[in-house]
Amino acid sequence: MDTSDTSASDVERAEQAYLTEVQNRIEKALQGVDQRLNDYAQDVQDQKEHLWSSRDEMDHVEKIAARQSIEQAATAGEFVQARQHRLRKLRASPYFGRVDFRSDSAASALPVYVGIHHFHDDEQGEDVVYDWRAPIASLFYNFETGAARYEAPQGDVDGEIERKRQFRIRGGRLELMIESSVHVVDDVLQETLGQSSDDGMKNIVATIQRDQNAIIRNDEAPVLIIQGVAGSGKTSIALHRIAYLLYRFRDTLSADDILIISPNSVFADYISNVLPELGEESVAEIGMETLADELLDGQYRFQHFFEQITALLEKGDEALRERLAFKGSADFLRQLGEYAKIVEKQRFAAEDVWIARRYVPAWLIDETFRKHRRLGLKDRVKQVVVEIEQRIGIQYHYDLEPEERRELRTAIKGMVREQTLRSTYKQFFDWLGRPELFRPAGRGRLEYADIFPMIYLKMRLEGVRSRHRHVEHLVIDEMQDYTPVQYAVLAQIFRCNMTILGDASQAVSPYGATNAGMIKEAFPGASSVMLNKSYRSSYEIMQFAQRISPNPDLEPIERHGESPSVVRCRNAADEARQLRSMIDAFKASEHNTLAIIARTDRQARRLEQALTSHYPGLQRLDTQSRSFRPGVILCTAHMAKGLEFDRVIVADVSARQYISEMDRNLLYVACTRAMHRLALTHVGEPSEWLAEAST
């Protein structure tokens, strides 16, 4: 326990006594909730029994009414169960902060306790703990002692914070108390960051920093782009922002209205716990490949992003690099747009038509056809027929006979120069004079880099059907890995608010990495914010990573640990020996996760063979993986994106492995996954990217 003045133990005793009082009140509320739950369960049981025993005497309508009543009781029970869950969590840790705030209109200050959930003592009619998202709770995040202000629903409230305290209460015990005005360094944050990892992302409500809080509570920007260095909390903040918006707009926004585009299933699982922990329902997530498949109505088979990266890393083919660089450029999008305009014009050659001896001019058909760009071809022709028929009716006072209507449809269909999407797209490269830039991926599949350009073309020429029209807020993580064409498609499909986050230094494919400026082209009204403080890795790890990929704006947190080690190995067998001894050291430590990160999937499989006999519980992550558990994890740098581990070993960082700019980014990603310890091995000469880092 840590307090400031001489009366520390009095303060401590008072806080301890208050904690006990709050716990008693929570306990009492819990008893009430338990009782209500039992009552609901009994009620449902009784109603079911009644329905069963009286079913022969009931008519159809009575049975429906009885079933509805059972459902209603069950739903009410679920609601109470959610409250029970929240109260149980509060019982273990009711709050983490206290501010004594005196508003200008009040005579004295009132203590405001801030926790993960709200607790209203119904018996006393009093708010005991405020939800961290409540307007008054913003005082805790935004101010130290002194003048302060918060935005209440009825207007701004000015006043003064007379006292501010932070607590760590775990398992119902007050473990730490800090008088904030005295401690300049945030000890609670330091202590939190020093803890061992979990297999899932944690909530950070107790230690949200001021700049992070401003992003979380930004409810005005329709599209918010968060650019942040590795470990700056971008993903955490995006999820806390969702929790905040769900709270702030609870009457109009629900978890079903939110969608997260995430890089892979392991990452999706890794973050899936955060919103439920914050008392919200989990939200749906989707990968770009699934989205693409939906938008193309499942009509094309294509390579996955992961396979494209693997091809790039394992074959290192110059032609592939050129294709990806071009398709990832803003110029490509512009040219594709030009091409779409031309195809659109040529695709439909309207002609004058005589139908039932009535004249229909080409310009009218052309205008009508162009108006319905968003419809699929079949529906579009149908719609044109309907409208032309109406015009004939108005102008000539004549209703077409079925046979004449068929004739009109055939004539209009004949004006369309039909072509498959694939060949229209392929011809784009002929039009450009660069046919070599279109190259299928083999086995009848398209290259991943061609998928979104094809969707873009489809969108422009035929229109696409999206299942996600209901989405009101879209979260896009790892924004740097999506190209301008992908953003152009996303901007059309999701006409909703967005949180877009990423870091240009972590682009897995530097051929087509996208920054905030480029994203703003697709979303002109977007605002962007920067986060430069890095929280995940120790100071020493971050300094090491900085030498691989320097960023003068990055500010590592002052949390010290062991310096990273670079281990030279004589050969592959020696490397395997070194890795085994590092695994043994990890097993004997207090840490929970160790990741061995390889450059390619092939290398990861080779390491798996060398290590599984020594450590059978080894988990290798690949595109099929859905999650990981604490223990030893083997994966590529690409798979490790967005994840974090207590310890990381980057294997075989040799001169013949890590060569290009892309390798530098991957090495940077790999190193910045480590929270507490980092080691790198190499066989023969080390990569030139390590030359600076190891000095």
Which residue ranges make up the annotated binding site? 228-235
Q: Which residues contact 684 (CB under 8 A, 6 or more apart)?
A: 654, 655, 656
* Least distance from ligand ATP to the Cβ atom of residue 549, Å: 12
Strand partners, 151: 156
Nearer to ligand ATP among residue 166 and residue 308 (C-beta) = 166
155 to 150, 213, 241, 375: CA distances (angstroms) = 9, 20, 22, 47
Which amino acid would we find at residue 238?
Answer: A
Nearer to ligand ATP among residue 191 and residue 608 (C-beta) = 191
Nearer to ligand ATP among residue 121 and residue 277 (C-beta) = 277
Tell me the per-residue interface mask from 309 to 328 with ligand ATP, x by CB under 6 A, - otherwise. --------------------
383-413 exposure pattern, b = at least 16 Cβ within 10 A, e = fewer: ebbebbbeebeeeeeeebeeebbebbbebbe
Nearer to ligand ATP among residue 230 and residue 607 (C-beta) = 230
Taking a C-beta distance cutoff of 8 angstroms, is the pair 653, 500 a contact?
no
Tell me the per-residue interface mask from 388 to 407 with ligand ATP, x by CB under 6 A, - otherwise. --------------------
Tell me the per-residue interface mask from 17 to 36 with ligand ATP, x by CB under 6 A, - otherwise. --------------------
Nearer to ligand ATP among residue 234 and residue 460 (C-beta) = 234
Taking a C-beta distance cutoff of 8 angstroms, is the pair 464, 373 a contact?
no
For the record, the structure tokens of 515 come out as 């920054």
478 DSSP 8-state letter: S
Task: Count the residues of the shown chain that bind ligand ATP, applying the rule CB under 6 A.
Answer: 24
The set of long-range contacts for 156-160, using a CB threshold of 8 Å and a minimum separation of 24, is: 157/103, 158/103, 158/104, 159/101, 159/102, 159/103, 159/104, 159/106, 160/101, 160/102, 160/109
Interface with ligand ATP in residues 191-250 (CB under 6 A): 192-193, 202, 204, 207-209, 212, 228, 230-236
* Least distance from ligand ATP to the Cβ atom of residue 165, Å: 17
* Least distance from ligand ATP to the Cβ atom of residue 455, Å: 27
C-alpha 193/C-alpha 254 separation (Å) is 31
* Least distance from ligand ATP to the Cβ atom of residue 204, Å: 4
Which range touches ligand ATP (CB under 6 A), out of 133-141, 186-194, 257-265, 300-308? 186-194
For the record, the structure tokens of 32 come out as 């009430």
Give the annotated binding-site residues for ATP.
Answer: 228-235
493 to 55, 413, 686: CA distances (angstroms) = 50, 28, 46
Closest by CA position to 228, among listed 489, 560, 7, 480: 480
Nearer to ligand ATP among residue 169 and residue 230 (C-beta) = 230
| Collapsed DSSP state (helix, strand, coil) of residue 172 | coil
What sign does the CA torsion over 379, 384, 390, 393 have?
Answer: negative
Nearer to ligand ATP among residue 81 and residue 190 (C-beta) = 190
Nearer to ligand ATP among residue 450 and residue 646 (C-beta) = 646
What sign does the CA torsion over 215, 221, 224, 228 have?
Answer: negative
Taking a C-beta distance cutoff of 8 angstroms, is the pair 281, 481 a contact?
no
* Least distance from ligand ATP to the Cβ atom of residue 614, Å: 29
Give the one residue of 99, 114, 161, 189 binding ligand ATP; rule: CB under 6 A: 189
Which range touches ligand ATP (CB under 6 A), out of 95-103, 185-193, 464-472, 546-554? 185-193
Strand partners, 634: 596, 620
Q: Residue 488: which region, alpha, beta or left (left: phi > 0; alpha: psi -120 to 50)?
A: alpha
Nearer to ligand ATP among residue 210 and residue 250 (C-beta) = 210
| Collapsed DSSP state (helix, strand, coil) of residue 194 | coil
Nearer to ligand ATP among residue 514 and residue 672 (C-beta) = 672
| Collapsed DSSP state (helix, strand, coil) of residue 566 | strand
Nearer to ligand ATP among residue 233 and residue 556 (C-beta) = 233
* Least distance from ligand ATP to the Cβ atom of residue 215, Å: 11
| Collapsed DSSP state (helix, strand, coil) of residue 271 | helix
Nearer to ligand ATP among residue 636 and residue 672 (C-beta) = 672
C-alpha 321/C-alpha 328 separation (Å) is 10
Residue 642 lies near ligand ATP (rule: CB under 6 A): yes
112 DSSP 8-state letter: E
* Least distance from ligand ATP to the Cβ atom of residue 170, Å: 15
Residue 279 lies near ligand ATP (rule: CB under 6 A): no
Residue 303 lies near ligand ATP (rule: CB under 6 A): no
Q: Which residues contact 261 (CB under 8 A, 6 or more apart)?
A: 285, 286, 287, 288, 291, 474, 475, 476, 477, 490
* Least distance from ligand ATP to the Cβ atom of residue 207, Å: 4
* Least distance from ligand ATP to the Cβ atom of residue 305, Å: 17
What sign does the CA torsion over 497, 503, 504, 507 have?
Answer: negative
Nearer to ligand ATP among residue 600 and residue 672 (C-beta) = 672
* Least distance from ligand ATP to the Cβ atom of residue 238, Å: 8
Beta strand 358-360 with 155-170 is: unpaired
Beta strand 619-620 with 631-636 is: parallel
Q: Which residues contact 495 (CB under 8 A, 6 or more apart)?
A: none
Nearer to ligand ATP among residue 70 and residue 238 (C-beta) = 238
134-160 exposure pattern, b = at least 16 Cβ within 10 A, e = fewer: bbbbbbbbbbebeebbbeeeeeebebb
Give the one residue of 503, 575, 601, 646 binding ligand ATP; rule: CB under 6 A: 503
C-alpha 529/C-alpha 550 separation (Å) is 20
C-alpha 650/C-alpha 544 separation (Å) is 13
Tell me the per-residue interface mask from 459 to 498 with ligand ATP, x by CB under 6 A, - otherwise. ----------------------------------------
Residue 644 lies near ligand ATP (rule: CB under 6 A): yes
* Least distance from ligand ATP to the Cβ atom of residue 560, Å: 16
Beta strand 593-598 with 97-103 is: unpaired
Tell me the per-residue interface mask from 135 to 174 with ligand ATP, x by CB under 6 A, - otherwise. ----------------------------------------
* Least distance from ligand ATP to the Cβ atom of residue 271, Å: 9
Q: Which residue of the chain is nearest ligand ATP when measured via CB?
A: 233
168 to 4, 6, 209, 262, 575: CA distances (angstroms) = 16, 21, 16, 32, 43
* Least distance from ligand ATP to the Cβ atom of residue 643, Å: 7
For the record, the structure tokens of 489 come out as 């498609």
* Least distance from ligand ATP to the Cβ atom of residue 551, Å: 12
Which range touches ligand ATP (CB under 6 A), out of 189-197, 309-317, 577-585, 679-687? 189-197
Residue 368 lies near ligand ATP (rule: CB under 6 A): no
* Least distance from ligand ATP to the Cβ atom of residue 641, Å: 6
Nearer to ligand ATP among residue 204 and residue 464 (C-beta) = 204
Tell me the per-residue interface mask from 514 to 553 with ligand ATP, x by CB under 6 A, - otherwise. ---------------------xx-----------------
Tell me the per-residue interface mask from 651 to 690 with ligand ATP, x by CB under 6 A, - otherwise. ---------------------x------------------
Contacting positions for ligand ATP (CB under 6 A): 189, 192-193, 202, 204, 207-209, 212, 228, 230-236, 503, 506, 535-536, 642, 644, 672
